[in-house]
Structure 1
Amino acid sequence: MEEGVPSQTALATARARADHQVLDRAAILDDPFVERLIRGVQQSVFASDRPRRLFFAARARFAEDCVATAHDAGVRQVVILGAGLDTFGFRHSHRGLQTFEVDHPATQAWKRGRLMDAGIDVPAAVTFVPVDFETDSLTRALEHNGFRSTEPAVFVWLGVVFYLTPDAALSTLEYVAGQPHPTEVVFDYLQPAHTDESREHLQARADRLAAAGEAWHTYFTPDDLARQLRVLGFTHIEDRSAAELVDSYSGELTRFVNDIPDQLRASRIVRAQL
């Protein structure tokens, strides 16, 4: 990461959400702020195709639905790990919900400047928490910024795990597992390719990201991930493929499970609850 420069993948994800508002008429996720946030900004080096665009919308919608359910049950904290250019904290209507946006200091500083330029006010219920996942203590950073470690929370962790080392990813999951019940975490991950064709496609994507300085480091199989989550104490684990997730929200827009696009074969999303 460079000072004053956002993550290219964070920018690509925001661009995909903005395109979803127009090209897909916000069929899955209604985000009225994202286009304003990136208006006039140079495009990311990573173009977003339709399958990934719909997946980015669906994974955000799924996470936000999980937060809504938890809020109805009395949870009043959501931690967005690797928040990027996420706008949930600026547009939700959940009374009393405190949103903690955790991200690399460079991306976060750039985002705050963009919010100011776009005239988007930061609600009092949104707190920015600068953290480098590989070197900083998430525990200290959150508690220093008002996170209540004696109360449950929802942790949203999208588009991050595969960029971390396995140790860093598992360390964060251990931290989440140490929170009071009924804390939960929602995150997506990559599984290894099962065919030569899928392996070639996945490697090409990994090479492009590595060339841009944002290399993948971690993959899980669903069975291995579920085993590790249970060891940590998570008792309810919901694991879905990207194609299944998109189809569950898109109505007649897609039928990806019948013909899974290469772009989505490796992607899965998990909801794990204590």
Structure 2
Amino acid sequence: MQQPSRTARMVAALRARATERETPLCDDPFARTLAGPGGFEDATRYEQGYPHIELFVALRTALFDRETRRWLARGCTQVVLLGAGLDTRAARLGRKGVRFFEVDHPTTQADKLARLSALPGYPFENATYVPCDFALHDFVERLDSSGFRADNPALLIWEGVTYYLEEPAVRATLRRIAEKLHPSSVILFDHVGKRMGQGNVRDASSIAARDGVAEMGEPVVFGIDHVLPMLYEEGFRHARCASFDEIALNLTGTYDRARTFRFQHAVVASVAEDVWA
């Protein structure tokens, strides 16, 4: 049986710490409960080797939150969280007329809901929970059976997932979205560079970053330097890509080459052009 993700708990702990800073980049009041003591212990150990991990998580959360608000403001009424993990956007960003679908492994989903039950007033009703073992099930079929409308545009958030999948699985997910969902749907995801994915890294922080998640049972197996050819081959025709160096500069006004953020990227892509107007 699959165990709840340690990396997801660690990331929740890092989101909680970033939220509680004097000048926070992100805001997730539920993250501390979701992380639990084990999540904070893993975060402390992990940052000893990769000291910039909290900033990276805060930047990614802030960016994905901002993009979610932007697409909702443009009229999107469906948000799909692929491999939702301990995401809380349905609670934090939910609004009338918008349906959030959290797609994840049943074990991980059950663990999350059990942890959130300790929070009085958590708006469970803001999301539709879609149990899906991605190795066995078609996530589009699971969505369809849960009330999702594939003939209407959707925003899909695929946060912190691609690095743990083999390339064929990444491509298959992108292809499924391009072929089966409304062409004006938008996918938002992040990825690491090819060297990080292959383990061909030499600097101490990158080695520690790979070793840390591998020790938690979730090794990095995929990275890509130039994502546009893959997006094109799988059916997408419009995209925006940014390194986390660029994101950090835009959100914090700082740059530090030692962070190695230039090897980490965020991508927004769609099949149709009209969403970019």
- Quickly name the TM-score band, shorter chain normalised: 0.7 to 0.9
Ranges in structure 2 where 5+ consecutive residues have no aligned partner: 272-277
Shift of the alpha carbon at 1:196? 5.7
Structure 1: distance between partners of 2:105 and 2:41: 18
Paired position in structure 1 for 2:158: 157
Shift of the alpha carbon at 1:35? 2.1
In structure 2, the CA distance between the partners of 1:109 and 1:93, relative to structure 1 (3 Å rule), is: closer
Find the partner of 2:182 among 156, 180, 183: 180
Structure 1: distance between partners of 2:42 and 2:73: 40
Determine if the alignment matches structure 1 residue 12 to structure 2 residue 10: yes
Determine if the alignment matches structure 1 residue 35 to structure 2 residue 32: yes
In structure 2, the CA distance between the partners of 1:24 and 1:85, relative to structure 1 (3 Å rule), is: farther
Structure 1: distance between partners of 2:40 and 2:73: 38
Paired position in structure 2 for 1:132: 133
In structure 2, the CA distance between the partners of 1:22 and 1:190, relative to structure 1 (3 Å rule), is: same
Paired residues in the alignment total 263
Contact 1:192 1:221 in 2 (8 A): yes
Paired position in structure 1 for 2:248: 246
| Range that drifts further, 152-161 or 202-211 | 202-211
What is the RMSD of the two structures over their aligned residues, measured on CA atoms? 2.3
Percent identity among equivalent residues?
A: 30
Shift of the alpha carbon at 1:175? 1.5
Contact 1:11 1:44 in 2 (8 A): no
Paired position in structure 1 for 2:259: 261
SS in 1 for 2:11: helix
Structure 1: distance between partners of 2:59 and 2:212: 24
Q: Please tell me the residue identity of whatever aligns with 1:217.
A: V
Shift of the alpha carbon at 1:120? 4.3
Q: Please tell me the residue identity of whatever aligns with 2:240.
A: E
Find the partner of 2:267 among 258, 267, 270: 270
In structure 2, the CA distance between the partners of 1:162 and 1:38, relative to structure 1 (3 Å rule), is: closer
Residues 1-274 of structure 1: matches in 2 within 5 Å? 2=2, 5-26=3-24, 28-40=25-37, 43-47=40-44, 49=47, 51-178=52-179, 179-193=181-195, 197-198=202-203, 201-222=205-226, 225-251=227-253, 255-256=254-255, 258-262=256-260, 264-274=261-271
SS in 1 for 2:100: strand
Ranges in structure 1 where 5+ consecutive residues have no aligned partner: none
Give the TM-score normalised by structure 1: 0.86
Q: Please tell me the residue identity of whatever aligns with 1:197.
A: R
Q: Please tell me the residue identity of whatever aligns with 1:193.
A: R
Q: Please tell me the residue identity of whatever aligns with 1:70.
A: W
Shift of the alpha carbon at 1:62? 1.7
Shift of the alpha carbon at 1:145? 1.3
Structure 2: distance between partners of 1:192 and 1:233: 22
1:213-265 deviation per Cα after TM superposition (whole angstroms, max 9, x unaligned): 2112211112xx201112233222111111211221124xxx12x43414x34
| Range that drifts further, 153-162 or 170-179 | 170-179
Give the TM-score normalised by structure 2: 0.86
Structure 1: distance between partners of 2:202 and 2:108: 34
SS in 2 for 1:124: helix
Shift of the alpha carbon at 1:89? 0.5
SS in 1 for 2:118: helix
Shift of the alpha carbon at 1:44? 5.0
Shift of the alpha carbon at 1:39? 4.8
1:14-61 deviation per Cα after TM superposition (whole angstroms, max 9, x unaligned): 0000000123532x2122222233355563534354522122122122
